Each structure stands twice: as C-alpha cells, then as structure tokens.
Chains A and B, each alone.
Chain A
C-alpha cells in the first residue's frame, strides 16, 4: 500500500524558500487526514461504548471479513463515479455470480479455481454488456444499471430455483474463511493460563501468528522506504514537500497503526486470505488511478467529457472498460460473499449497491464525476463497516442503524461542499 498523498495546489515548486508552511499543507490535506481521523474516532468511540469489544482481535478480523466484498466493489465503483456514471446493478450481479458459482461447484462439481475464474470472467462480460449500452448506445448509466439490477436479481432467483444452494467445497470456503498458513510457526508471547487439569483456558494468553507479524513489519518497512524515496526524489527536482517533522510524525503514526493492527490480527488467527486479495487490489487501484495513463484519462473523462474527447481520449472505449472492470469486481465480491455464507441464496447481494455507492461518496468522490480517491473510498467503506459492526454490538435496532448511516452519508457530503465553498 502506498501512503503518497495526492499532490495539492499548495505544494508549490521552486523556489524552495518561498514554499508553504507545514500548516498550510496540513490544511490542504485536511480532507484526507480528516477521513482517517474520523474513522479512528468512530473506532475509539465504539471501543469505549462496547467495553473494549471493537479492538478485540477476533472483532477486527471479522470487520475485514464482513466488509471485504463492499470494499472490493467500492474500488470499481470509484472508477465508475469518477468517470461520471453510477452502477446500481453491482449487488444483483454479485448475487447472480454467487449463484452461478454454487451451480458450477455444487451441482456440476467443477473445481474451485476454474469455477472461480469462470465466474470473474462472467462478471466482466456482464459489466461489458452494460458498458456497451452506456458507452456506445448512450443510454444513461442510471437506467442501464437499474435494468441490470432487476434482470440479475431475477436471474439469481431463476438459476437457484428460489432455493439456497450449498455447501461449497472446502477449498472454495478458504477464500473467505481461510487464513494464511503460519510457515514460521506460532510464537507464544504470554503463555495461556492453565486450568486445574493442566489444559489451557481458551482466551487467555497471547500467541502470535509470526508469519503475519513478519509480513506486517515488511509492509511497514517498504512503506517507510518508498515514502522516503519519493520525498527525496521530489526534493532533488526542487519541489517542496511537507516539512520533515510533519513527514516523520505522519509516517510514524501510520507505521504505528499498521503495526498495531498487524499485532492484533496476528494474535488471533493471522492474516485472512481475503485481506491479502483485498490489499493487492487496493494497491493496484491506487497505482492505477495515480500513476497510470488509463487512470488519468478516467479523471479527465469525468472532469469534462467533451474536453477529454477533443483531447484525443477515446471516451467511449474508456467508459466501456470502466464498466467491465466494475463487473469483474462485482463478481469477485459475489464469490467472497458466497464463500463466507458457504451457500448461495437468492437474496445474496441485495442492497449491496447502496453501501458501495455510499462508501465512495463518504470517501469524498463527487457525484458530478472527476473527483475521488481510492483511499477515500476504502476508508469510506470502513467507516460504514465499523458503524455497522459497532452498532450491532451495541444492539442498536436495524431501523435506527439505517437512519444513522443515512445521516452520516448526508453529513459527509455536506461537509465536503462546505469545505469546497470555503476554499
């Protein structure tokens, strides 16, 4: 994962002496930092009010497992929304793909890996076909994907015959329920308390999943190294970056947080497989949006489609690609969800699109297109996930939960608009 923040207007190049103060950089990045701070504040809030349940290793692991499919779809949805579109069909598509996966694996005994790959391809084809109508036939995405939502909801019911199909083969379940193997071997940090019979009492002592710890440390080192390198590279080109103390504090906080989370996860069962998949995808999408030409073109398309077209960007083909990617990600999310439930149900995926879209908007994307960050969408999804999780632990009724989530969504966007008008 990268910690590079987006270049901001106040990062003024040469002359260095006339560079901005740390304060102005802090202000300029307030939204990026603010989102992280908001997530942490919400977590601390629930940590206090759930009497310490929030940060329990098992809960953190669950948090990742519960929200992985939303986050994965949010990555694609970010591209869709930045391109100036919307996709309402992702919930239904993920449900439908989950159903097809169940038919393939349970009824036709297709092995897990080819079946999974086939399903992702199917999702890409579904996305591409919707993208075709949006990009080339010029039907508004809202309508195409609303139609898609109905069609694939109906199709899941049809292929499953209205029943649940399961259970899945064990190797497929590992996608959601599995953890990476501890190749190095566990470390007993604090030996568990023994009961009278000399057996360990469950829940006492701390045993660390050492492979997870090693991976965590390596990630932190890579992160620190890469941000140092970026920083020195920018300096050598004469561009002012944030003042060194601020840089150190920021890097230290992030590194500390990652290490702490790694420690917590390692003290349960280690890294879930799905977290690995998710992290790779997040890293790739951050890279794509920030460093690749296709990412840049998507922002240009969303910012001003006519100008993008007149600049030689094949806007139609780009829109088509964006929806194809979205379809593939929706399929992957559908697989993860099905593996997690260990069954495909006709109701799977219903309403997911709303959480996914809300996550992207909470993360700071603009409904008008052209604005939005992958990191924002991921944090937005976590904010929603932590709230779901925390409120469930507190036993808050589902009706109230919905209302609170709605208010948070509206509040986040109002906060954005307020900031924009002030600037």
Chain B
C-alpha cells in the first residue's frame, strides 16, 4: 500500500584512508517518519550528505532512486530543486540577518534583483505560523534561542516546498519543551504528506514518532525495523553489536593511591550564562589507572576537561581540583601544567598543533624552559628531546624538522602526545585520542597509554568509541548532559550497560 519515495542502493563512500560507508541500503516510504540511528562516526551524517548532494554524484558508488527515477545530485541546489531539504546539526543561519531574510536566503522574493520586502515578510509570517513560531519576521536570528532557530530552519525548508525533510540530530541542543514541540511538528507534517528522515540518538524520541528505524554501524546498514519491532533493547544491540577483536594491547593494571580528584565541578556556557554545561561533577583517577569518560557528543566531557585545564572553556566555574589529596590551582594553563596536568585536545588541528611549524618546535613548545637557560634555547638539547620522543612514540616522518601539517592524523596525534609527555605531567587527560586515525596507529596510541599507566601516571581518556574505552580502561564514568550518570569498573562494564546508563538518563531529562 505504501509507495517508496526514496531508495538508496549500495552506497559506498571512501575518504582518503577511511571507508565511511560501505554498501549501505536505505528505503524510505512516502509520508513516513524514518529514523536513522547509530554510534558517532557510524556514517549517518555522511549518508545524508550523499543524499543531499553535499558529496556530489560521482564521488561515491551506488544508486539513489527518488520518486521512481534515478537521480544524480551535483550540489545541494540540485536536491533542493527536487524538494529534498536537509537541516544540519550546525544550523546554517546567518546570525545577523532577520528571520525573513534567512528564510528566503538564496531564494529571495525578488524581481530583477530587487527584493519585494512586503511580500517576503508576508510569506515569512505564513511559514512561521505553519511551524508555530510567534516571532516578528524582522527579528534577528541572533536574538532568538536555538529551539526557535531550529524552527526557522524548518520554515526555510517549507519555503522550498519540501517533500523529503532530513533532520540531523535536531533535538541535540534543544530543551525538553522545544524538543517536544519539534517532534509534534514532524507528526503534523506527516499528516500533510511530508516525509521525514530523523537522525537521533534519543531512543525515547524515536519510539514516540518514528514509523521505521534503520540502524547503521561502521558504515553498514544493520537492519531496518518496523514500528511494531522498535524497542530500546533491540536498537541498542544493533547499534553496538560489534565483536571485540584483539585490538587492544594487554596490560596488567597496577593501580595505586588516589592521584587526581575533582569535586563538585560546575561550568556554565561561555556565551549563555544561564546554561549549565557541566553539573556538579565529582571524579578521581588513581596512580597507574586508566579511567574513561563515556558519553555521546555534547554530553559535556570536553567542556569539563577544558574547564579543569586552565579554565580554557566556560564561565562561572566552581569546584575543586586536588592532586595527591591537596587542592591545586588550575586557573591558567601554566598553573595547571605546573600542578602536573596535561590535556591533549580532541581537535588537534585547531587546538593541538602549530601546523606550519615542524615537529621539533611543536614537541618542545609546552616546556621551553626544559630546553633553555635564561630564556636562550639550546637547539642541540631541543633536537635531542625531539628525536627521543619521535623514537619513543614512533612518529613516522623524514625527520623532526618535518612540518606537522604534512603528517597523517595518527602521527599528528603522537606529536601532541609527545608535547605533553615532555611537560612531564602526572595526570594526562586525553580527549578522543584516536579520533580519525587508522587501526594501526590506534594500537600504538594504546600502547603509549599503557606504558604511561605502567609508569604510575594517571590517565583520563575521553572517548565516544565505547569499545575503545572497554578495551583500555580500568574504570569508566558515563557522562550525559553534563552529569556523571554512571560509574562502572572495567570488569563489569559493557557497551549495553553504558548505553543503558545514557538512555536512562535521556529518559529522565527528555
């Protein structure tokens, strides 16, 4: 009885060195709400980018059949002409333009290049009424909240007479009330015959609105289930059900006394002073222990780490940091380093490295006093340090004078690690230490982590890859929406238990 509006067949998309999608199939029926779930990096967003023409036809293999005909989108404009509209996680609105200007951006109500503002405002008002947003079309985007911005995006989609609406984690940054309103809107659209694809982590939301669910894992379609079959258990099993191979080097844990402790740590968003990002976190790391923080993207893990490390994130920070049981001052990066902390960032290109400088200068920059006297650098000592760390962390390069910008992701990560090892910390906070690097390099990073733990250092690993945490950690904290929602020992922890902790917390807040 239902007709298929969209079919994606055998989609395979490779990036240099990574196969992001391999042979993915997706079948969406006309007028349904189709949810796509999967772990971070499973390939959901990539699939949607293929569909909407962000990755042009020809850059991937496979077929897209839309309303009975094969389509080849070269740009987003092509897919929009076919009434397919994608709303990305990061909203594509211009903050300092008005709602009306944003709705008709690139699609202005104009004749010969002259905009008819009366008509544009009237049109905008009509669209805003459809999405239930009571705002003046002349209001600037920057003056309305994220939830309302999301609605403006949807109004913009409606202005393009959308037939297939794709929402990439639309409720990730919305409050409970806004989320509910948004989901109601999707149900309302369904009545009007608009098909939606909803990418979400929030299983309770999916249960509420989705007609069918497709699970993607490691770039492959795992299964598509019908409304009757949708259950949290089944989704979770499908999402994480990958076999744990021997991808993690062995280590005999030798956990000592309490080394690093954070008490009652709270942080507010740097721009929105009333949004609490980290909520009363308490955790500790022992000597020689590898501790993980699990959680979804946006759960506040990076924000927590950066706020501890020299208050490099957020405002109105409160709480206490203790080393060896004594309170320490970590209010600037310098002080945090002096207290024995190091933080290797999740975004090495933006925050970790000077890409236009070579390995040597990047390795020594956090500890220049270690290779200088009275402010004068000893370049031979520096060379030796750089070469030693290059050897110790196995950085593959022609020499320590190679620019870090020309290194692969794994080797860049090793440079970041070397930099912090040379600052001789007692506690290392590693934020997504293996993101975007290949399996071999990952193994090497794990080996380094094990070695450091063996030397009695405390390691705190933030990772969105649950198998990784399970593979290397002695203890795992689970974080969600700024809170610690679970603590599991390495033996008892499993992907299901972690997921359950997260989902349970989502259920409480949503």
Point out residues on A near B: beta carbons under 8 Å: 7-13, 233-234, 237, 239, 291-294, 296-297, 299-300, 303-304, 306-314, 366, 370-371
Contacts and interface: CB of A to CB of B under 8 A. Distances in A.
B357 A292 contact: no
A371 B333 contact: no
Nearest to B378: A291
A47 to B, nearest CB: 38
Contact of A300 (B361, B377, B380, B401): B361
A384 to B, nearest CB: 26
A3 to B, nearest CB: 15
Contact of A307 (B353, B400, B423): B353
Contact of B377 (A10, A233, A296): A296
24 contacts: A9-B398, A9-B401, A11-B401, A13-B387, A234-B380, A237-B380, A239-B383, A293-B375, A294-B375, A300-B354, A303-B356, A304-B355, A307-B353, A307-B354, A308-B365, A309-B333, A310-B312, A310-B345, A310-B351, A311-B333, A312-B366, A312-B423, A314-B332, A370-B354
User: When A and B form their complex, which 5 residue pairs have the shortest distance between CB atoms, in order from nearest?
Assistant: A303-B354, A311-B366, A293-B368, A312-B333, A304-B354
Given A293-B372, A312-B334, A312-B336, 18 more contacts: A9-B398, A11-B399, A12-B398, A13-B383, A233-B380, A237-B384, A292-B376, A292-B377, A296-B377, A299-B354, A300-B357, A308-B365, A309-B312, A310-B343, A310-B351, A311-B333, A312-B423, A370-B354
A309 to B, nearest CB: 7
Contact of B402 (A9, A237, A294, A299): A9
A306 B383 CA distance: 25
B379 interface: yes
Interface in B377-394: 377, 379-380, 383-384, 387
A370 B358 CA distance: 12
Contacts of B365: 296-297, 300, 308, 311, 313
B356 A296 contact: no
**A293, A300, A309 — which one has the most chain B CB atoms within 10 A of its CB?**
A293
Contacts of B400: 13
Contacts of B310: 310, 312
B182 interface: no
Q: Give the interface size class of chain B.
A: 35 or more
Contacts of A306: 350-351
Contacts of B398: 9, 12
Nearest to A13: B399
B62 interface: no
A9 B403 contact: yes
A12 B419 CA distance: 21
Contacts of A292: 372, 375-377
Contacts of B345: 310
B87 to A, nearest CB: 29
Nearest to A8: B401
Nearest to B423: A312
A310 B380 contact: no
B352 interface: yes
Interface in B326-380: 332-334, 336-337, 343, 345, 350-358, 361, 365-366, 368-369, 372, 375-377, 379-380
A134 to B, nearest CB: 20
Interface in B420-444: 423
B354 A308 contact: yes
Nearest to B406: A9
Contacts of A291: 376-377, 379
Nearest to B309: A310
A237 B309 CA distance: 37
Nearest to B402: A9
Contacts of A10: 401
A15 B380 CA distance: 17
Contacts of A304: 350, 353-356
Given A296-B368, A308-B365, A303 B401 contact: no
A12 B399 contact: yes
Contacts of A299: 354, 357, 361
A412 B342 CA distance: 42
A309 B345 CA distance: 12
A300 B54 CA distance: 35
A9 B399 contact: yes
Contacts of A13: 383, 387, 399-400
A398 to B, nearest CB: 38
B368 A297 contact: yes
Contacts of B369: 293
A139 to B, nearest CB: 19
A239 B399 CA distance: 11
A7 B368 contact: no
A353 to B, nearest CB: 26
Contacts of B350: 304, 306-307
**B332, B356, B384 — which one has the most chain A CB atoms within 10 A of its CB?**
B356
A229 to B, nearest CB: 12
Given A13-B399, A292-B375, A371 B351 contact: no
B84 to A, nearest CB: 36
A307 B352 contact: yes
Nearest to A11: B401
A311 B367 CA distance: 8
Contacts of A9: 358, 398-399, 401-403
B405 to A, nearest CB: 10
Contacts of A12: 398-399, 401
Contacts of B423: 312
A227 to B, nearest CB: 14
Interface string B303-325: 00000011010000000000000
Contacts of B368: 293, 296-297
A249 B157 CA distance: 69
Given A237-B383, A291-B377, A313-B365, A371 B402 contact: no
Interface string B470-482: 0000000000000
A8 B345 CA distance: 28
A293 B378 CA distance: 10
Contacts of B337: 312
Nearest to B352: A307
B315 to A, nearest CB: 15
Contacts of A7: 358, 401
A307 B351 contact: yes
A312 B342 CA distance: 10
B376 A370 contact: no
